[in-house]
């Protein structure tokens, strides 16, 4: 079961938080004023855990990677505004 909480920051940016079941997992999504997603983060017990995706305002992916207990793990990729891979880092 997902509980959804929608908030608006003072600058008008929409933030949606999901609580996913009873397992202490949360997902936060932040949106640009134009409605496109800006960032998607996952938490467990208040720590960054799982995928993190940030987007350019045009809707293309900017950064994609994974966290475990607030630390970057695996391969992180960064793209330019046209979707071209510009950086690949391993953690």
pTM (2 decimals)?
0.80
Task: Count how many domains the chain has.
Answer: 1
Q: Which residues of 36-73 are buried (b: 16+ CB within 10 A; e: fewer)?
A: ebbbbbbbbeeebbeebbbbbeeeeebebbbbeeeeee
Q: Which of the two residues, 6 and 33, has the higher pLDDT score? A: 33
Domain hosting 25: range is 2-90
Q: Is it the case that residue 21 has pLDDT exceeding 70?
A: no
Q: pLDDT-based confidence at 1, cuts 50/70/90?
A: very low
Q: What is the pLDDT of residues 23-70, one digit of tens each?
A: 677 888 889 988 899 999 988 888 999 999 999 999 999 999 999 999
Q: Distance (Å, rounded) from C-alpha 13 to C-alpha 64?
A: 21
Q: pLDDT-based confidence at 2, cuts 50/70/90?
A: low
Domain containing residue 51: CATH number: 3.90.930.1
């Amino acid at each position: 079961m997902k509980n959804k909480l929608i908030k608006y920051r003072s600058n008008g940016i929409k933030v949606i938080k999901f609580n996913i079941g009873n397992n202490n997992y949360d997902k936060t999504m932040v949106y640009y004023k134009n409605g496109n997603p800006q960032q998607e983060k996952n938490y467990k017990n208040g720590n960054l855990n799982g995928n993190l995706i940030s987007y350019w305002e045009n809707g293309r992916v900017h950064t994609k990677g994974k966290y475990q207990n607030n630390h970057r793990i695996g391969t992180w990729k960064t793209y330019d505004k046209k979707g071209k891979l510009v950086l690949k880092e391993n953690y």
